[in-house]
A and B are shown apart, each in its own frame.
Chain A
Amino acid sequence: MTENLLERVRRKERKAQQEFYRQFSTWLFRLVYRYVNNEQDAGSVVNMGFFKIFDHIQEFVYHGEKSMMAWMKVIIINEALMFLRQRITYREMDAINLEEMQVEFIPEDNLIAEDYYRLIRNLPDDLRVVFNLFAIDGFSHKEIADQLKIKEASSRVYLTRARRILRDKLTRNQTYYGKGCIR
């Protein structure tokens, strides 16, 4: 992305906004789809995010494309969390013996990136949000607790449960089982 494009976006040139949208929307959709898990809703959240981005881009001080993407990422994650606030109730979780949850984990080699992406998306809603925030997008438990209005301890429990499910699914090579396990 050139600084020239950014300047034109700041001047609210529609063509420039469209070019900017084209350049970043796929990446942002991917990000949101990890949280929102529904294609239609993800599209709506992406657009809510772009509305905020275009609205606040005057105030943003450009230090390179990476810093700009980091700024956009914070905005879009915030939009996703606000959207999900209506859909997900985060309960306070009882502190558990976290040591019991830790089992040796050996990374799988025969899965592709898309498989990992799908595994996250298939997590239950509340666990998925916390895992995304902590493990993928680098938020601390304190920041997560503030965002989701829960205690830090609950955030840790959500994360541990998410990791356990992911670990279990990875060791079974991503196949789901129901009652009467078929091997």
Chain B
Amino acid sequence: MEKDVLDRTFRKHLENISGLPPDVRWNSEKGWNDYADQYLFKKIFRRRLLVFISSAAAAVFLVLVSIGIFRNMKSETKSVTNNTDRAIEVILPDGNRVWLNLSSTIEFPVKSDHNQGDILVDGEAYFEIRNFPKQLYRIKARNAVIVAENSGSFNIRARMHEENVNITVASGSIKIMEESYQSGLALLVTEGNYCSVHKSQNLVYASANRNENYLAWKTGKLTFRDVPMATVTDILAEYYRKKIEIEDKSLAYCLFTGTFKGQSIDMVLNQMQMDLNVEIKNTGDKILISGKGCL
């Protein structure tokens, strides 16, 4: 029967397949490291911890060391790096929350002290500051210095390969300056605005934020309201980590509207091809968009 032919055809071809799909970055080594971290480390750590604390001498040592640490701790810092494949949340010692994007690091003081040191950010992080320490809340991201004096929330993007450090304020207000001009003027950036600090030219400027998707990495939500396709494909390429090319330049200016939450790239592309006069080819290596355009 015809339907069996289709099933058999697929089965036959899949039997001949080996290795990983070309568009996949996962590999066996990475998989094993993740497995070991998640399933083996905890078990081994628990076992060793039980052995350690069951020893009387170890227990005494633990107490003495704890007292020593408590007394002598100065500006001890802790560093957290997100090596996973999704955003992670970090609770700071003062109870404030930070979310780290992929391949991002935060370093922060672990002791609640009067002279709380700077928090350092590399990559991309979203802060929610609700519990306020005595001192100013200072964050450094490359050559940008961000100072929070009141409760608020903001996203810091400081990627090595980008020209600017971009800080977008979701709520409240923050002050931003370039590190070599700290004694000079600071820009006050309020809710709904963003600030860019240039990597090498020491320029700082602020503007209204028109990028609705600056937090897509954390929320999983992508919103496009009459956005040019050139911008849409840039955002999709970064979010889904795919290469996307517009083959016909006239398409770049077509406006796209759509909202997606937690959906795969294929569902987004399906929506696009239904709404626009386009042809979409997914070759595995990249996604190609072509067509007559929106005229």
Interface residues of A (CB under 8 A from B): 14, 18, 21-22, 25-26, 29-30, 33, 37-40, 42-43, 46-47, 50-51, 102-105, 107, 111-114, 116-122, 134-136, 160, 163, 166-167, 175-180, 182
Residue from A30, A105, A118 in contact with B282 in the complex, judged by beta carbons closer than 8 Å: A118
A–B pairs, 27, beta carbons within 8 Å = A25-B28, A26-B19, A29-B24, A33-B24, A37-B266, A39-B85, A43-B30, A43-B85, A46-B31, A47-B35, A47-B38, A51-B35, A105-B2, A105-B5, A114-B284, A116-B13, A134-B7, A136-B11, A176-B273, A176-B280, A178-B272, A178-B279, A178-B280, A179-B275, A179-B276, A179-B277, A182-B279
Q: Least Cβ distance of B264 to chain A in Å? A: 6
B268 at the interface (CB under 8 A from A): no
Q: Is the CB–CB distance between B2 and A117 below 8 Å?
A: no
For residue A136, which residues in chain B have a CB less than 8 angstroms away from its CB?
7, 10-11, 14
A38 and B131 alpha carbons, distance in the complex (Å): 37
Interface residues of B in 23-50 (CB under 8 A from A): 24-26, 28-32, 34-36, 38-40
Q: Which of B10, B11, B273 has its CB near the most chain A CB atoms (within 10 A)?
A: B10
B278 at the interface (CB under 8 A from A): yes
Q: Is the CB–CB distance between A182 and B28 below 8 Å?
A: no
Q: Is the CB–CB distance between A114 and B17 below 8 Å?
A: yes
Interface residues of B (CB under 8 A from A): 1-3, 5-7, 9-11, 13-14, 16-17, 19-22, 24-26, 28-32, 34-36, 38-40, 85-86, 264, 266, 269-270, 272-282, 284, 291-292
Residue from B6, B26, B32 in contact with A167 in the complex, judged by beta carbons closer than 8 Å: B6
Q: Which of A21, A22, A117, A176 has its CB near the most chain B CB atoms (within 10 A)?
A: A176
For residue B5, which residues in chain A have a CB less than 8 angstroms away from its CB?
105, 107
Q: Is the CB–CB distance between B17 and A113 below 8 Å?
A: yes
Q: Is the CB–CB distance between B35 and A21 below 8 Å?
A: yes
Q: Is the CB–CB distance between B21 and A117 below 8 Å?
A: yes
Given known pairs A39-B24, A39-B26, A175-B281, the reply for A116 and B39 (CB within 8 Å) is: no
Q: Is the CB–CB distance between B6 and A21 below 8 Å?
A: no
For residue A46, which residues in chain B have a CB less than 8 angstroms away from its CB?
31
Given known pairs A43-B34, A136-B14, A182-B279, the reply for A114 and B22 (CB within 8 Å) is: yes
For residue A134, which residues in chain B have a CB less than 8 angstroms away from its CB?
7
Q: Is the CB–CB distance between A43 and B281 below 8 Å?
A: no
